[in-house]
Amino acid sequence: MTDTPPPPNVPAPRHFETRHEGSFNGKHVGYRCIAAETHLPDAKGEPRASLFTFSYLADDAGPPESRPVIFAFNGGPGSASMWLHLGAMGPRRIVVPSDAGIAAPAPYSIVDNALCPLDLADLVFIDPPGTGYSRMIGAAKPEDGWGLEQDAEIVASFIRAWLTAHRRWASPRYLCGESYGTTRAVAVAGKLAGGAGAMVFNGLGLISVVLDFHTVRFEPGNPLPDICALPTYAATALHHGLAEAGPDGAAGFIEAARQFAVNDYLPALVSGSRLPADRRALIAQGLARFTGLSLDWLARTRLRIDPARYRREVLRSRGLSLGRFDTRYLGQDHDGAGETPDNDPASYAVSPAYVTAMNDHLGRALGVDWDRPYVNVNREVGQKWDWRGPQSESASRWPAAVNVAPVLGRAMRENPGLKVWMANGLYDLATPFFAAETTAAGNGIDATRISMTYYPAGHMMYLHEPSLAALMADMRSWLTN
């Protein structure tokens, strides 16, 4: 038998440290940023993964036992943490049009972020393997870190290593994730809660929530995503003048869409071809009222509304399509008769600005001197992601969509002090707000212990200036309540 070759030489971890100061929530704070690699070993003690992270640590912040630390990341899978880092939580942020307009080419406005919570807590932004400068090392292959379980294990190991290296085990600990980052946050909390070395968190901040992928996985035989998207269609129809709110206002109209979805639409979809013709006509009328779609189109789709088709169809008469991450954004497609949009205007409107800002921040503000590219989005990660994981507390071997919500339910039962905050954009078709509500209503979760907040924006609600201010105020409440 041939001996296994030793792992290739691994360069020493890179480390860049800079000093700064700023005013956050009206308080002057001196702080340092440590932008650095952390090498994490495998079970044999050999280097396995290198995570590049950004630690913002306030000066003279008091004893560790009273100073919280927030570990934050984005999602994808395959996205670096630049969105939360430079869009909402970091000491500096990029300003883009708040009205769903397209950001102009450079130069961009990168400003001190007065809403950053650094006056309350230290911040650690984590880039998972395959994003940013993070990667698998030694004998590990890149895809060895690309999966629900593998990713959660690596991030959990990093948090343990960080707390040890910075002597912060006594500190209150918070996890904050966006989009798939909410899945990761719950999975990481579950990993760290078990075993003899268990640790728990003070709070989980879940921004643009997706825990149960059944709620967003549009496919034949699964009516749940149709139900969960309907209130977002209603909010969108109001925003674009395709529906009338009526005497109860926008909130009442959206609540009526929720009730219609559960009490009328869901039974109709489950009935399928058994649904009587008169009942089918009533359901179509209700859908037309809430979505702005025509009765004829709804009849031809058998009352099912795929979000990509909705985005293309609902403003077809105006020659426009809607954004996926934020339906406030409008785009124009090459083919006016196309079935789905060419692209997502909510993405191409702001992504170039964020990429530019992140690279500028790395070089000029943080002094990161590296000839490797910083990977903002790695699509290969998502394409090769291993989705296998715990489907429930009694996991089945049958293939199914990922659902980590039971892990959250168990964490809340076993940690009565856990503060869970879910932040939702009304115009988000990637992770609809009613999907988060539906997930929280089951899965052994005590919904009365969840702070559920809403913003008149989309998936990245912080792109909208009023929503950014509200989001960060809610984050402060989550930390201090």
Same domain? 297 vs 424: no
Same domain? 142 vs 284: no
Same domain? 133 vs 49: yes
- 392, part of any domain: yes
Residue 91 sits in which domain range?
15-214+350-480
- 9, part of any domain: no
Q: Which of 297, 327, 346 is the last residue of a domain?
A: 346
pLDDT of 3 reads: 44
Compute the average pLDDT of residues 281-297.
97
Lowest mean pLDDT among 6-10, 78-82, 108-112, 169-173: 6-10
Determine contact, residues 154/148, Cβ cutoff 8 Å. Answer: no
Q: Using pLDDT thresholds of 50, 70 and 90, give the confidence band for residue 396.
A: very low
Over residues 28-39, the pLDDT tens digits come to 999 999 999 999
- 10, part of any domain: no
Phi, psi dihedrals of residue 27, rounded to the nearest 5° = -115, 130
Q: Which residues contact 415 (CB under 8 A, 6 or more apart)?
A: 193, 200, 201
Distances (CA, A) of 248 to 243, 259, 454, 457: 13, 14, 18, 21
Same domain? 52 vs 195: yes
Rounded to the nearest angstrom, the gap between the alpha carbon of residue 175 and the centroid of all alpha carbons in its chain is: 12
Same domain? 317 vs 426: no
Using H for helix, E for strand and C for coil, what is the string for the chain? CCCCCCCCCCCCCCEEEEEEEEEECCEEEEEEEEEEEEEEECCCCCEEEEEEEEEEEECCCCCHHHCCEEEEECCCCCECCHHHHHHHHCCEEEECCCCCCCCCCCCCEEEECCCCHHHCCEEEEEECCCCECCEECCCCCHHHHCEHHHHHHHHHHHHHHHHHHCCCCCCCEEEEEEEHHHHHHHHHHHHHHCCCCCCCCCEEEEEEECCEHHHCCCECCECHHHHHHHHHHHHHHHHCCCCCCCCCHHHHHHHHHHHHHHHHHHHHHHHHHHCCHHHHHHHHHHHHHHHCCCHHHHHHCCCCCCHHHHHHHCCHHHCCEECCCCCCCEECCCCCCCCCCCCCHHHHCCHHHHHHHHHHHHHHHCCCCCCCCCECECHHHHHCCECCCCCCCCCCCCCCCCECHHHHHHHHHHCCCCEEEEEEECCCCCCCHHHHHHHHCCCCCCHHHEEEEEECCCCCHHHCHHHHHHHHHHHHHHHHC
d(CA 114, CA 122): 15
What's the farthest any 2 CA atoms get from each other in the chain? 79
Determine contact, residues 239/232, Cβ cutoff 8 Å. Answer: no
Q: Which of 311, 329, 346 is the last residue of a domain?
A: 346
Q: Using pLDDT thresholds of 50, 70 and 90, give the confidence band for residue 4.
A: very low
Same domain? 53 vs 168: yes
Over residues 319-360, the pLDDT tens digits come to 999 999 999 999 999 998 899 999 999 999 999 999 999 999
Over residues 181-203, the pLDDT tens digits come to 999 999 999 999 976 668 999 99
Higher pLDDT, 104 or 52: 52
pLDDT of 198 reads: 87
Q: Using pLDDT thresholds of 50, 70 and 90, give the confidence band for residue 393.
A: very low
Higher pLDDT, 10 or 168: 168
**Other CB atoms within 10 Å distance of the CB of residue 3:** 5
Same domain? 114 vs 199: yes
- 3, part of any domain: no
Q: Using pLDDT thresholds of 50, 70 and 90, give the confidence band for residue 389.
A: low
Residue among 24, 17, 152, 144 at smallest CA distance from 90 = 24
Q: Which of 330, 346, 362 is the last residue of a domain?
A: 346
Compute the average pLDDT of residues 135-154.
94
Same domain? 172 vs 227: no
- 136, part of any domain: yes
Q: Using pLDDT thresholds of 50, 70 and 90, give the confidence band for residue 395.
A: very low
Compute the average pLDDT of residues 436-459.
96
Percentage of residues of the chain with pLDDT beyond 70: 95
pTM comes to: 0.94
Same domain? 200 vs 137: yes
Question: What CATH number does the domain containing 118 carry?
Answer: 3.40.50.1820
- 5, part of any domain: no
> What pairs with residue 124 in β-bridges?
55, 71
Over residues 201-253, the pLDDT tens digits come to 999 999 999 999 999 999 888 999 999 999 999 999 999 999 999 999 999 99
pLDDT of 26 reads: 95
Same domain? 255 vs 292: yes
Phi, psi dihedrals of residue 266, rounded to the nearest 5° = -60, -50
Same domain? 47 vs 189: yes
- 150, part of any domain: yes
Residue among 137, 143, 140, 165 at smallest CA distance from 372 = 137
- 384, part of any domain: yes
Q: Using pLDDT thresholds of 50, 70 and 90, give the confidence band for residue 388.
A: confident
> How many independent structural domains does the chain possess?
2
Q: Residue 286 is which amino acid?
A: G
Same domain? 329 vs 355: no
Report residue 96 as tokens: 């883009």
